Amino acid sequence: MSASPPAFSARHVVAYAYRRSVGPVLGRFFTELRDRRIVGNRTAAGRVLCPPMEHDPETGVATAPDFVPLGPGGVVTTWSWVSAPRAKHPCAHPFAWALIRLDGADTAILHVLDAGSESRVRSGMRVRPRWRAETRGEIQDIECFEPEERA
Partner 1 sequence: MSDRGPVKSIVTPTHLEYEYTATGAQAEFLHQIGQGRLKGQRCGECGKVTCPPSGACARCGVPTSEWVDVSDRGTITTFCIVRVPSENIELKLPYCAANILLDGADVPFIALLQECETSEVRIGMRVQAVWRPREQWQPSFENIRWFKPSGEPDVPVEQLGDWV
Site for partner 1, rule CB under 8 A: 1-2, 5-22, 27-28, 30-31, 34-35, 87-88, 137-139
- DSSP class of 90: S
| Integer Cα distance of 42 and 105 in angstroms | 9
For partner 1, the closer of residues 77 and 135 by Cβ is: 135
For partner 1, the closer of residues 26 and 77 by Cβ is: 26
Q: What are phi and psi of 76, to 5 degrees?
A: -75, 125
In the complex, minimum distance from the CB of residue 10 to partner 1, in angstroms, rounded to a whole number: 5
In the complex, minimum distance from the CB of residue 52 to partner 1, in angstroms, rounded to a whole number: 13
Give me the DSSP letters along 107-120.
S-EEEEE--SSGGG
For partner 1, the closer of residues 11 and 150 by Cβ is: 11
Helix (H, G, I), strand (E, B) or coil at 43: coil
Calculate the CA 135 to chain-centre distance.
15
| Integer Cα distance of 97 and 85 in angstroms | 11
In the complex, minimum distance from the CB of residue 58 to partner 1, in angstroms, rounded to a whole number: 25
In the complex, minimum distance from the CB of residue 2 to partner 1, in angstroms, rounded to a whole number: 6
In the complex, minimum distance from the CB of residue 96 to partner 1, in angstroms, rounded to a whole number: 21
Amino acid residing at 62 = A
For partner 1, the closer of residues 7 and 151 by Cβ is: 7
For partner 1, the closer of residues 127 and 142 by Cβ is: 142
- DSSP class of 61: P
